[in-house]
Homo-oligomer: A and B are copies of this chain.
């Protein structure tokens, strides 16, 4: 297997983009990543696109070919393009497929993109579409949507470990602070613990400020074999590990609902592949679809002891400048969560941090970063480790 490097990245603005279409935003991301890489578009050997539900959100499937077409890569070049889906982990899995395509030698210059256009349906329609990431026959059909599922996780975490609503609110406060320094973020307004606790209740104990929003957005990266990456960029970022794991799709079938075993498994496999431990990681983008999810994630990945994620957050250890910088982009909570794009946006953020291009939210001396992308309530998890040094 060949080593693989990132040579170009691009996020679109994340937010409610009423005036733009699905294909507009993904082409902006793709063309931007190509420009950033310095590679000519006609050098692309393949594309992988993460998208959860074009079918339900914009009545469009066959996303891979659509994007190759609108990027000018289909008519004459016939570049193969493959859509990958694993609910909110679709972007992370698209990146993983792209890494494997280059590592295998099947393809050299490959794009991984992610996109979701979620505001073309009503918010009820969006909730219903998102519920298709859970177990339709045992969860969705009973009326369970994701705020309810993660509320159960939160209640159990509070019961077992004494985690508090204030600790969950601290996740949102930190991520909004980080997001306020991210030009692409959907929400750039700093918030306080009180504003979270006083916001309307969505599914007790989760307030609306504990929840990530409905978002339009796209992100893309360009990959190359590590041996040639320096031909395109002075700051290639190397992929040290890619790991993916599955768990039961329904929450009630899990061993323990406060632990996402898929995250634990993918994290362990990634650390083994990179020959690293959590102490080697300078920053991590975790999947904070709800504030409780970030607390679980830092525990499941080994950055906090089980049950101590809330305390660690409240004490500022996950802030920029803390023990481990978590969600410097603002995370899903503040940067926004276009579900198919999130996994790629995480890779873009870590790449910009390792390049030293993260502006006000830069983690000083960042050498190694991680991404953690989750599908549904944890039935899919995918973890990547990226580094400045090969």
Proximity bits, A261-288, B CB within 8 Å = 1, else 0: 1100110000000000000000000000
- Does A39 touch B at the CB level, under 8 Å? no
Q: Which of A9-17, A80-88, A358-366 contacts B (4 or more CB under 8 A)?
A: A80-88
Q: In the complex, how many angstroms separate the beta carbon of A95 from the nearest chain B beta carbon? A: 12
Contact A86 B85 (CB under 8 A): no
- The size of the chain A interface, using a CB distance under 8 A, is 69
Q: Which of A63-71, A150-158, A220-228, A293-301 contacts B (4 or more CB under 8 A)?
A: A63-71
Cβ contacts under 8 Å, A75 to chain B: 247-248, 253, 255, 261
Contact A375 B245 (CB under 8 A): no
- With beta carbons under 8 angstroms apart, the residue of B82, B106, B131 that contacts A86 is B82
Q: Give A376 to B66 CA distance when docked, in angstroms.
A: 11
- With beta carbons under 8 angstroms apart, the residue of B69, B96, B133, B265 that contacts A246 is B69
Q: Which of A48-56, A186-194, A195-203 contacts B (4 or more CB under 8 A)?
A: A48-56
- Does A118 touch B at the CB level, under 8 Å? no
Q: Which of A135-143, A161-169, A346-354 contacts B (4 or more CB under 8 A)?
A: A135-143
Contact A55 B53 (CB under 8 A): yes
- Does A129 touch B at the CB level, under 8 Å? yes
Contact A80 B245 (CB under 8 A): yes
Q: Give A132 to B300 CA distance when docked, in angstroms.
A: 38
- With beta carbons under 8 angstroms apart, the residue of B129, B250, B261, B376 that contacts A55 is B129
Contact B59 A132 (CB under 8 A): yes
Contact A69 B379 (CB under 8 A): yes
Cβ contacts under 8 Å, A85 to chain B: 61-64, 83-85
- Does A386 touch B at the CB level, under 8 Å? no
Contact B132 A246 (CB under 8 A): no
Proximity bits, A100-138, B CB within 8 Å = 1, else 0: 110111100000000000000000000011011111110
Q: Give A137 to B78 CA distance when docked, in angstroms.
A: 21
- With beta carbons under 8 angstroms apart, the residue of B21, B62, B104 that contacts A87 is B62
Contact A53 B61 (CB under 8 A): yes
Q: In the complex, how many angstroms separate the beta carbon of A83 from the nearest chain B beta carbon? A: 4
Q: Assuming the A-B contacts A55-B55, A104-B104, A133-B61, are A66 and B1 also in contact, with contact meaning beta carbons closer than 8 angstroms in the complex? A: no
Cβ contacts under 8 Å, A5 to chain B: none
Among A62, A85, A136, A253: residue with most chain B CB under 10 A? A62
- Does A249 touch B at the CB level, under 8 Å? yes
With CB as the reference atom, state the residue of chain B lying closest to A54.
B132
Contact B86 A83 (CB under 8 A): yes
Q: Give A134 to B65 CA distance when docked, in angstroms.
A: 10
Contact B100 A106 (CB under 8 A): yes
- Does A149 touch B at the CB level, under 8 Å? no
Cβ contacts under 8 Å, A1 to chain B: 104-106
Residue positions of A touching B, CB distance < 8 A: 1, 21, 23, 52-56, 58-66, 68-69, 73-75, 78-87, 93, 96-97, 100-101, 103-106, 128-129, 131-137, 140, 244-250, 253, 255, 261-262, 265-266, 375-376, 379-380, 382
Known contacts A64-B246, A75-B255, A80-B246, then 13 further A-B pairs from the complex at CB < 8 Å, ordered by chain A residue:
A1-B106, A61-B87, A61-B132, A64-B380, A65-B376, A69-B247, A75-B261, A78-B245, A78-B265, A80-B244, A81-B246, A84-B85, A100-B100
